[in-house]
Chains A and B, each alone.
Chain A
């Protein structure tokens, strides 16, 4: 607090430092309330979970290289894919963009000194560690084998794995996500700099507003659901056990009431990143700003009306299935609006193919496929054939990996110079972006065909005739793996050996580029006053391009 007060109190003679140099003890990190440092700690922790999830993924793909279940036993295989799903969804994908990039950039983008509730922000990180720690502990005890969806009554009555611990870990972790969302909403409402009106905010911020809504409205429901699950498992009262009057489908309703909206927690932030990248690397004002902004909100709202499309064959009434099917088609509209607007933004833009832009373009193709196959699955007749097959697996990997993970990587590359003050190697960046794209498609496209041919998900063995496509898929996974490991290496390398990035390496007009890289603890030396619209590339945005170039050249030299 004292160090910070000193800064707020504006001693002009304090040496110009940045958030990274402001304190180097462990305590200065663990007790920080600086959103940028918290974001960095999230980055590190989330990456650890990403790596662990990746190891499980590798195991799955290796097992599926051959038709027989030979690498791991079938029971172990159940645990492997379950833990892959849990780590990736709850501990990597959900916090990925919001807690890292959102945390880091939201205050910078709207011209605030910090998030509105910095202490809550730090608490959310600790909760994340606690929930993650508990889950890891459970995994070391022997793990879970229920699938990430914890369907009852298997999870409550039959599975003899560590459902309780993992459930508790997810319960706790949920509150980390809720607090992040809460913080973002408050920040966006109250912390905008003078002149930063709602419709001057970058679309990244809008996307995070929508995400936060989902986090606040949905996450508590899954929290109570897994709590009930844990109690039921401990006490066997039978609320989810059909043999004594309980109702397993109720569990599915409650679970998907959150978990469908949760897929929007896993894509909206990515869409926000893509809006930034597409507009900025086309050097063109984004097309249909209001439409993209409101479509985010629409997705957040309508996303709550379609959860039953995960339950078409689970015993839900056919009438309900039809309603959910119809609404599923409707909810695809706002996503489509975004796609159209991004495409229109590209049109006649002066596009530069830097690494982040490669990711953005990759996103557009992959999310398109992912979204369209979602419509296949939402069609109530078709899904009877496709549900619980590899088609579903391919669908959600196209949206979650092809969408969110690629957007996340694009975002990390794009804002890396801002976060660290260093530039990574553009050469390796491009190579890895292309490897990721190729590897991803090679991994998951065959799975559409496999699923269509009837290969069910969640089995360790499969018929001989499906082996060729599975080999493709495993080969693709290796390429994808290499593509994902490379950034870890060259980004780390750039921390020390990368060339100085300068304040605005991309010459972009957003507020975050108008402070130094890395930014000072208080983000801006003087409180910015915004007089320009978002994505204004001309002189009217007050962006002194020539001056910035000169300064950068000087600072790099």
Chain B
């Protein structure tokens, strides 16, 4: 971090605008993807696509707008780790809901 001053070298206005355009395209894509019935391929496909786009958008915001790309390892760890923790919360909660009263242990 002490060589913070070199940070402006990494991004310039065209690059910022480029990232911005990606985000706009992502938003529009999200909308149109939702109007197509992809759930007929497998349940949840629509949501999956929506989330994939959202994650991509988030990655761009984090890496370039929030400068994570040029940050220390600890910052990377914080960014990735917090989502890992969310994943823990989701996964371990759902492993309960998805196995209620089913399989070998039912009844």
Could you tell me if B92 and A317 are in contact, using CB atoms closer than 8 angstroms?
Answer: no
Q: Judge if A545 is at the interface, Cβ distance under 8 Å.
A: no
Are B99's CB and A304's CB within 8 A? no
| Contact among A189, A221, A317, A320 with B89 in the assembled complex (CB-CB below 8 Å) | A221
Q: Which of B82, B89, B101, B105 contacts A257 (CB 8 A)?
A: B89
B90-104 to A contact mask, C-beta < 8 Å, 1/0 = 001101110111110
Complex Cα distance, B95 from A319, in Å, reads 8
Cβ of B101: which chain A residues have Cβ within 8 Å of it?
Answer: 317
| Complex Cα gap A439–B99 (Å) | 46
Which residue of the partner chain, among B74, B93, B103, contacts A319 with CB atoms under 8 Å? B103
Interface of B is mostly: helix
Taking the complex as formed, is A318 at the interface, i.e. its CB lies under 8 A from any CB of chain B? yes
Partner of B74, one of A189, A217, A307: A189
User: Is A516 an interface position by the 8 A CB rule?
Assistant: no
The reply to whether the CB of A316 lies closer than 8 angstroms to some CB of chain B is yes
**A257 proximity list for chain B (CB < 8 A):** 89, 93
Q: Tell whether B63 is near chain A: CB-to-CB under 8 Å.
A: no
Q: Given A253-B93, A308-B96, A323-B95, does the pair A317, B105 have CB atoms closer than 8 Å?
A: yes
A317 touching B88 by the CB < 8 A rule? no
Please give the distance in Å from A192's CB to the nearest CB on chain B. Answer: 14
Q: Give the number of residues in A that approach B within 8 Å (Cβ atoms).
A: 18
Given A189, A217, A308, which contacts B92 in the complex, CB threshold below 8 Å?
A308
CB distance from A199 to the nearest CB of B (A): 17
Residues from chain A with a CB closer than 8 A to the CB of B74 are 189
Inter-chain contact A304/B100, CB cutoff 8 Å: no
Query: Which A284-322 residues sit within 8 Å CB-CB of chain B?
Result: 304-305, 307-308, 316-320
**Residues in B36-56 with C-beta less than 8 Å from chain A:** none
- Establish whether residues A253 and B88, one from each chain, have CB atoms under 8 Å apart when the complex forms: no
B31 on the A face (CB < 8 A): no
CB-contact partner of B96 in A217, A304, A305, A320, under 8 A: A320
Q: Tell me, rounded to whole Å, the shortest Cβ–Cβ distance linking B23 to chain A.
A: 27
Rounded to whole Å, the gap between the CB of A314 and the closest CB of chain B is 10
Contact A319 B88, CB 8 Å, known A189-B74, A308-B96:
no
How many angstroms between the C-alpha atoms of A249 and B96 in the bound complex? 10
Q: Is the CB of B85 within 8 A of A305?
A: no
Which residues 212-262 of A sit at the B interface, judged by CB distance below 8 A?
217, 221, 249-250, 253, 257
Summed over the interface, the residue pairs from A and B with CB atoms below 8 Å come to a total of 39
Determine the main DSSP class of A at the interface with B: helix
Query: Are A304 and B88 interface neighbours, CB within 8 A?
Result: yes
> Among A217, A221, A249, A319, which residue has its beta carbon within 8 angstroms of that of B99?
A319
Query: What is the CB-to-nearest-CB distance from A336 to chain B, in angstroms, rounded to a whole number?
Result: 23
Nearest Cβ in chain B — how far from A210, in angstroms? 14
> Which residue of chain A lies nearest to B95 when distances are taken between CB atoms in the complex?
A320
Cα of A444 to Cα of B14 in the assembled complex, Å: 69
Nearest Cβ distance between residue A509 and chain B, in whole angstroms? Answer: 29
Shortest A69–chain B CB gap in Å is 36
**1/0 per position for B65-93, CB-CB distance to A under 8 A?**
00000000010000000100100110011
- Given A317-B100, A317-B105, A319-B103, is A217 in contact with B95 using a C-beta cutoff of 8 Å? no
Q: Which of B92, B97, B99 meets A307, CB within 8 Å?
A: B92
Measured CB to CB, the nearest residue on chain A to B100 is A317
**In-complex Cβ contact of B105 among A250, A304, A307, A318 (8 A):** A318
Q: Known: A189-B74, A253-B93. Contact between A320 and B99, CB under 8 A?
A: yes
Q: Which of B88, B102, B103, B105 is within 8 Å of A305, CB to CB?
A: B88
CA gap between A148 and B89 in the complex, in Å: 22
Taking CB atoms, residues of chain B closer than 8 Å to A316 are: 96
The residues of A that contact B89 with a CB separation of less than 8 Å are 221, 257
Which residues of the other chain, B, contact A324 by a CB distance below 8 angstroms? Answer: 92
- Contact residues, A303-362 vs B (CB, 8 A): 304-305, 307-308, 316-320, 323-324
Task: Select A304's contact among B85, B95, B102, B103, beta carbons within 8 Å.
Answer: B85
Question: A221 — which chain B residues lie within 8 A by C-beta?
Answer: 89
Give the chain B neighbours of A217 by CB distance below 8 A: 82, 85
**In the complex, A318 Cα to B101 Cα: how many Å?**
8
For the complex formed, measure the closest distance between the CB of B97 and the CB atoms of chain A, giving whole angstroms: 8
CB distance from B20 to the nearest CB of A (A): 30
How distant is A246 from chain B, measured CB to nearest CB, in Å? 14
A252 → B minimal CB distance (Å): 10
| Residue in A closest to B74 when the chains form the complex, CB atoms | A189
**13 interchain pairs, CB-CB under 8 A:** A217-B85, A253-B96, A304-B85, A304-B88, A307-B92, A316-B96, A317-B99, A317-B101, A318-B99, A319-B95, A319-B105, A320-B95, A320-B96
Given known contacts A317-B95, A320-B95, what 18 new A-B pairs fall within 8 Å (CB)?
Answer: A189-B74, A249-B96, A250-B93, A257-B93, A304-B85, A305-B92, A307-B92, A308-B92, A308-B96, A317-B99, A317-B101, A317-B102, A319-B103, A319-B105, A320-B99, A323-B92, A323-B95, A324-B92
Residues in A lying within 8 Å of B, measured CB to CB: 189, 217, 221, 249-250, 253, 257, 304-305, 307-308, 316-320, 323-324
- B interface residues, Cβ below 8 angstroms from A: 74, 82, 85, 88-89, 92-93, 95-97, 99-103, 105
Of all A-B residue pairs in the complex, the 10 with the closest CB atoms, nearest first, are A320-B96, A319-B99, A318-B105, A317-B99, A317-B100, A253-B93, A316-B96, A317-B96, A217-B85, A320-B95
